[in-house]
Amino acid sequence: MDYRTLPKIELHRHLEGNFSPRVLYHMAQKNHLSFPRDYEEFKAKLQFPKDSPPDFFLFLSKFYNTWYKSLDDVHEVVYTSMKEMALDDNLAYLELRFNPIHYAIHCGFDPVDTLNTVLSALRQAVDERGIFARYLITFNRGFQKQEEMKGLLTRFQKEADLTGVVGLDLAGDEVNFPPELFTDFFQYAHAQGFKATFHAGEVSSPEQIRCAVMDNQALRIGHGVSLIQDPSLLQQMKDKEVTFEMCPISNYQTGAWADTPNHPIKRLLREGLKVTLNSDDPTVQNSELYDEYKVAHEKMGLTLDELARLNHNSIDGCFLSDQEKQKLRRDFDAEWKKAVQ
């Protein structure tokens, strides 16, 4: 089975985990950063070792944000990475998330200028590549308190070109910054028309999933593997048709769920929940989205029909308009039929 040929819809991919090693190597040399000069050694520093046992801290150590000395650097990294994004993934639609503060934190770039730079680079690259993509702005729960988030979102609305932005994402340290610390912010964001997805239940209890959905109006949950521990909550999430953005390879590498053949995505899908299949951070993980399909089919035992259903769930849960979803579903079904004949 050539998993590259299958059309795919992805809801959970971080731009910061999708950078081109080639362009990062160029930035490291240009800006005289302390990284290996040998390219293969440089790549090894960026990527989780293939076939390595789970190691949460090793995984986190692969994320760097010191590449940029100017907003032109930001534009080059984002634009080139999107242009070089794996052609083999055969993406029918992508919702790509990014945190503007990641790019601004070391050099003091203005967050609005940074957001505009990233969005401009993304729009230029996807137009040239012909990718159907939309964007989520990530807020990191460990970087800002909710009042700061509210002030920043207000600035973004007033001063930035948000063309292509379809929602918000809450990421970062789940354990020390639970969802209840951000309820006021997301109530404000919801009132402004922003849809939201939360990282929850990856390395935290099912209670974080409950709070994200019930109190913070999250429509989607990133990872959410701990849902499997709470049958009552599982039924609530099924009834509310909450979408779960699951990432098995990432979960293995971080140790969030190291028993890949028994990853919750299989049971939850078969129990009728809106689970989806995603790559999370392809460059860091040293894998691509089609590798997730290979793992799901060959290690978990999901059928091709079930892989198609994961994509239908992604269409149901994506932040496009109903009209755009209808067209996407028609196009996806036609391409899927061709790929599996």
Q: Which two tokens stand for residue 255?
A: 């140790």
Q: Based on C-alpha coordinates, what's the Rg of the chain?
A: 19
Cα–Cα dist 281/42, whole Å = 17
Among residues 202, 245, 288, 292, the one annotated as catalytic is 202
Cα–Cα dist 208/200, whole Å = 6
Query: Residues 67-72: contacts with CB within 8 Å, 24+ apart?
Result: 67/24, 67/27, 67/28, 67/31, 67/33, 68/27, 68/31, 68/103, 68/106, 68/107, 68/109, 69/31, 69/107, 70/107, 71/109, 71/113, 71/114, 71/117
Question: Is 202 assigned a catalytic role?
Answer: yes
CB proximity list for 107: less than 8 A, separation 6 or greater:
68, 69, 70
> Which of 324, 331, 252 minimizes the C-alpha distance to 292?
252
Residues forming the active site:
202
